[in-house]
Structures are given as C-alpha cells and as structure tokens.
Structure 1
Amino acid sequence: KNQKIRKQHISYLPFLSAQFQQDLKFLVSYPEHFLQNIKAFLKLYGFLYTAQLSLNIKGWAQRPEVKPCYFILDSEKASKERTKLQLHGH
C-alpha cells in the first residue's frame, strides 16, 4: 500500500497565521474584491509576517508573541514625545 503521510506544519507565528486565514476567508466571500485585492493582501501579510518575525527574532527560543509595530508615513516626523513610535516604528 502506498499511503501518503500528511505532515502537519506548525507556523512559527500561529497568531498571524490564524488572522491570515480569517481575513482570507472573509475576502474570498467577496469574489470581486478578492480578485481586485489579492496582490495587495498578500503583500500586506508578507510584510506583517516579516515584521513580526524580525521583532521576535531576539527571543527565538521562547514562544513568539504579538509585538507592537507602529507605522508612520514618509511625510510625518517621529517626534521624541512619541516613544512607542521611536522604539517600535516602521
């Protein structure tokens, strides 16, 4: 017998994988929007995964967790009063 063994792959960032699946399921329920936005959707999640991976890399031996990540527009200035943006900004 040729039985295929299905390996279970566990994501390093399970919280992000779960959110991706939930968002993809929602987007697929609107086929027109899905077709128009799939490229941007995948780019966004590619960025989010990379950002969270890089923020969790220092504690790679521990269980990964959602790390704060703040966004700023190119035209904005990150003032020193905005400490969270200074520490966790992108």
Structure 2
Amino acid sequence: MVETKRYDFEKGIAYKLKIIPEDSGNFGAKLPWNEYLNDQSIAYIKVVDENTLKFYWYGFYNKKTKKREMTDCEFIQESNNKEVILKKCED
C-alpha cells in the first residue's frame, strides 16, 4: 500500500494499492490485480492516541466494473463495526 491522502483534522491516512502482491496465494493468484491498481483508497488508518490505531478496510476498487470487491475484513472482530482497533502492546 501507499499513502494517498492525509486527514490532519483526525490524524488519518488513506492508502491505495501500489503494486501487485508477490505472494498472493492460491486464491489471490486468481484475482484481477491490474484492475485494482488505481487511485481509489483501499484502507484508512486513524491515529486515536500514541497507543491506539483504528483500521478501516474498504476493499479493492475495480476500475473496470467501478465497484468495490473483497470488502469483508479478514480480522476476527467481536463487534459488527467496520473498524479494527489496534492497541500497542506493553514491553
């Protein structure tokens, strides 16, 4: 991923897909990666504080179909929220 835009008012950064992953596995090898290489954001990270980040997965934007694909976040979550909260571990 590569940064596309910063939102200073909430300390957030949007990211897009920069290159096709080298190791995409059996499932990923079948995806239309060239159609996902565009300027649409695929994820957003918001800094809550020095110990907490919120990660939002939007999915890949297919420039051919003009639709988002793979929108389900693969992280196991305890709630129905679309955000994943990441906490810094203590040393």
Q: TM-score range by the shorter chain?
A: under 0.3
Rg larger for: 1
TM-score under structure 2 normalisation? 0.23
Structure richer in strand, relative to its length = 2
